[in-house]
Amino acid sequence: MSTADRRMTPRTSPLTGRQAKRPAAVVTLAPERPAGGTTWQTLERLGGTVTGVIGRDWRPRYLQLAEELRAKITSGELAPGTLMPSETELADTSGLSRTSVRNAIRQLREWGLVRAEQGRGTYVRAPRQRVRRRNAERYQWEKDRVLLDEDERLKTGATEHDTGLTVDDLKFHAEYTRVDADQEMAAALHVEPGVPLLRRVYWTSSRHENAPLTMSYSYLPYDLVAANPDLLDAGKEPWPGGTQHQLHTLGIELDRIEDEIRARPPSPDEAELLDIDPGVSVLTVRKTSIDTAGRVVEVADVVMPGDRTELVYSHKLKRWRT
């Protein structure tokens, strides 16, 4: 009896609560590379042609396996909650070593497609809610909403704009604290170290998932926002119209927003809160808001899981003179 036909003991899926069986894993990979790693240039030097090797798949074989499995997951052949084949089964059916199989499963985790459960196995994940931020359009959209009446501003917000979800789909969390500016934030806000700041921590999650979609650390000069006591009260969040409307209550209009984007490993707290698997990075956007007088009025660090976030930018180019 082949491995593909072997019956496995049913196990309970943590996602569905039903018994899950390991599906048969039938994977066809490309043939091994020629010994010595022959290159196309060497073939041509020896009188051969590139034509004969164009069809050869030169990707690492663990990656070939990972992409074969990804195709089965995205097509629905391996549905959410399905218990993945074991390392032994995948090694038998693919002809790869268990080390290569482990690398393939690790790649699937980094793509956010599977999740390992301690002592239970590896399961196909349900699709995660994705965030697609078009920052250049987003900031103008936020500014245009500032002058709308409150009923209009209550209908939707920036997270809904990024995800396509509705207000009723979301859970919002906000924490406010007064802190003293350290060297880094003092330089970013163009104030002296030790100046009091209002530190705001936000995260928003879908009601269908436990992990937040993003989290944000926002800093504003405390004395600036204290002119409107409502802006010191986290209980007023989510504020209709967001930060730009809050600044508008102080007579502040933004002239521009500057973004600095970086990728880095998550901190342990971020990995836990955002439910990030090992090997997945976070994208960070440092958003600096500058008013029409050239003054920095807010600095925010937005942290987003790299496996389910897209940052989209569009830049209009000037035409050549003819």
Residue 307 predicted with pLDDT over 60: yes
Cα(306)–Cα(16) distance, integer angstroms: 26
Structural domains of the chain, ranges and CATH numbers in brackets: 3-124 (1.10.10.10), 131-311 (3.40.1410.10)
Q: What is the mean pLDDT of residues 70-83?
A: 89
DSSP labels for 142-173?
HHHHTTS-HHHHHH--HHHHHH---GGGEEEE
CA 239 from centre of chain: 24
Which has the minimum average pLDDT: 38-52, 113-127, 301-315?
A: 38-52
Q: Return d(Cα 306, Cα 133) in angstroms, integer.
A: 13
Q: Tell me the per-residue pLDDT of 207-219, one tens digit each, with 9 for 90 and over.
A: 888 888 899 999 9
Residues 6+ apart with CB under 8 A from 308: 112, 128, 129, 130, 131
Note the pTM of the prediction, 2 decimals.
Answer: 0.67
Give me the mean pLDDT over the 35-44 stretch: 45
Does residue 8 surpass a pLDDT of 70? no
pLDDT exceeds cutoff 60 at 22? no
pLDDT over threshold 70, residue 15: no
For 214, the 3-state DSSP assignment is strand
Taking 50 as the threshold, does the pLDDT of residue 40 lie above it? no
pLDDT digits (tens, 9 = 90+) for 129-169: 788 888 778 899 999 999 999 999 988 888 888 888 888 88
Residue 180 pLDDT grade (very low, low, confident, very high; cuts 50, 70, 90)? very high
pLDDT of 270: 93
Instruction: Calculate what percentage of the chain has a pLDDT beyond 70.
Output: 83
Give the residue-averaged pLDDT of 28-41.
Answer: 46
3-state DSSP call for residue 88? helix
Helix (H) or strand (E) holding 258: strand 254-264
Over 70: is that where the pLDDT of 239 sits? yes
3-state class of 27 per DSSP? Answer: coil
